[in-house]
Amino acid sequence: MSTTGQIIRCKAAVAWEAGKPLVMEEVEVAPPQKHEVRIKILFTSLCHTDVYFWEAKGQTPLFPRIFGHEAGGIVESVGEGVTDLQPGDHVLPIFTGECGDCPHCHSEESNMCDLLRINTERGGMIHDGESRFSINGKPIHHFLGTSTFSEYTVVHSGQVAKINPDAPLDKVCIVSCGLSTGLGATLNVAKPKKGQSVAIFGLGAVGLAAAEGARIAGASRIIGVDLNSQRFDQAKEFGVTEFVNPKDHDKPVQQVIAEMTNGGVDRSVECTGSVQAMIQAFECVHDGWGVAVLVGVPSKDDAFKTHPMNFLNERTLKGTFFGNYKPKTDIPGVVEKYMNKELELEKFITHTLPFSEINKAFDYMLKGESIRCIITMGA
Determine phi and psi for 54, rounding to 5 degrees: -70, -40
Clarify whether 271 is annotated catalytic.
no
Rounded Cα distance between 71 and 93, Å, is 6
Q: Which of 3, 48, 120, 241 is catalytic?
A: 48
Distance of CA 241 to the CA centre of its chain: 24
Q: Of 10, 28, 102, 357, which residue is the catalytic one? A: 102
113 given a catalytic annotation: yes
The catalytic residue among 104, 113, 151, 186 is 113
Which residues are 100's β-sheet partners?
none
Exposed (0-12), middle (13-18) or buried (19+): which is 252, by Cβ within 10 Å? middle
Active site residue 47: yes
Q: Is residue 177 annotated as a catalytic residue, yes or no?
A: yes
Radius of gyration, CA atoms only, the chain? 21
Q: Which among 177, 271, 284, 373 is annotated as catalytic?
A: 177
- Catalytic residue, chosen from 49, 96, 181, 186, is 49
**Is 70 considered catalytic here?**
yes
Is-catalytic flag, 99?
yes
Catalytic residue among 25, 36, 70, 283: 70
102 in catalytic set: yes
Catalytic residue among 47, 173, 271, 284: 47
The residues pairing with 139 across neighbouring beta strands, listed in sequence order, are: 134
284 included as an active-site residue: no
> Which is the catalytic residue, given 44, 76, 96, 105?
105
Residues belonging to the chain:
379
Q: Active site includes 10? A: no
Spatial separation of the C-alpha atoms in residues 296 and 293, rounded to whole Å: 10
Q: Which of 3, 28, 117, 352 is catalytic?
A: 117
Active-site pick, 35, 38, 65, 69: 69
Rounded CA separation 125/144 (Å)? 10
Spot the catalytic one: 99, 271, 284, 373. Answer: 99
Catalytic residues: 47-49, 69-70, 99, 102, 105, 113, 117, 177, 372
